[in-house]
Every structure is written in structure tokens, then in C-alpha cells.
């Protein structure tokens, strides 16, 4: 009984930490790696759509809006496109700030 309570508490804590992952000032690529590492390290198995939603939730709103216009099945493809969008937005910011 105690073992079940400890396991239940442990897994609930893992999912809460995973749920609270956000990109912050990290790059999209680092955000994607952080999610993957966390899930592998803690042996988290969840539905692909939940993981994709978690990834999107951690992105900056501009990137999320652009990504949501596309149709993706795999997280790795979505992460690749988000990285491209991030680079484009940075270039646009740099170009605008030079004016």
C-alpha cells in the first residue's frame, strides 16, 4: 500500500514538472531536447498529441500561431519547422532594428 502511494505521488510529481516545462529564453531546439530528455530519463509515456500540445504550449505565441497553420503528425517535424520560424523571426528583428 505504501509503495503504491509513493509511486503515485512520484509519477504525479513527474507529470507536473513535465507540464510546467516552458521555453523561456531557450531556443526552440533546446526546448524540444529538454522535453525529449525529460520524457526518456523519467520513462514518461503519453499520447503523441499530448506531447505535441505540451511542445506548442512552451513556444512563443508568434511561433505557435505559425506552426498551428501547418499539419504535422510527428513532433520532430514540428520542432524542425519551429526552429526555422524562430530563425526567420530573429533575422526579421535584426533587419528591423538596423533601420
pLDDT in tens, 8-37: 666 677 667 766 666 566 788 988 888 888
Q: What is the pLDDT of residue 22?
A: 60
81: containing domain: 2-98
CA distances from 22 to 1, 27, 91 (A): 35, 11, 23
Domain count of the fold of the chain: 1
| Predicted confidence (pLDDT) per residue in 39-98, tens digit | 887 777 888 888 888 888 888 889 999 998 988 888 999 999 999 999 999 998 887 777
**Global pTM exceeds 0.85:** no
Helix and strand counts by DSSP (H, E) for the chain: 5, 0
Q: What is the pLDDT of residue 79?
A: 93
Amino acid at each position: 500500500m505504501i509503495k503504491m502511494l509513493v509511486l503515485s505521488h512520484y509519477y504525479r510529481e513527474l507529470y507536473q514538472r513535465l507540464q510546467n516545462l516552458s521555453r523561456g529564453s531557450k531556443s526552440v531546439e533546446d526546448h524540444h531536447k529538454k522535453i525529449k530528455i525529460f520524457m526518456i530519463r523519467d520513462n514518461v509515456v503519453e499520447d503523441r498529441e499530448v506531447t505535441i500540445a505540451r511542445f506548442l504550449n512552451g513556444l512563443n505565441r508568434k511561433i505557435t500561431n505559425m506552426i498551428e497553420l501547418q499539419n504535422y503528425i510527428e513532433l520532430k517535424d514540428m520542432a524542425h519547422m519551429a526552429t526555422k520560424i524562430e530563425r526567420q523571426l530573429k533575422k526579421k528583428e535584426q533587419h528591423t532594428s538596423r533601420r
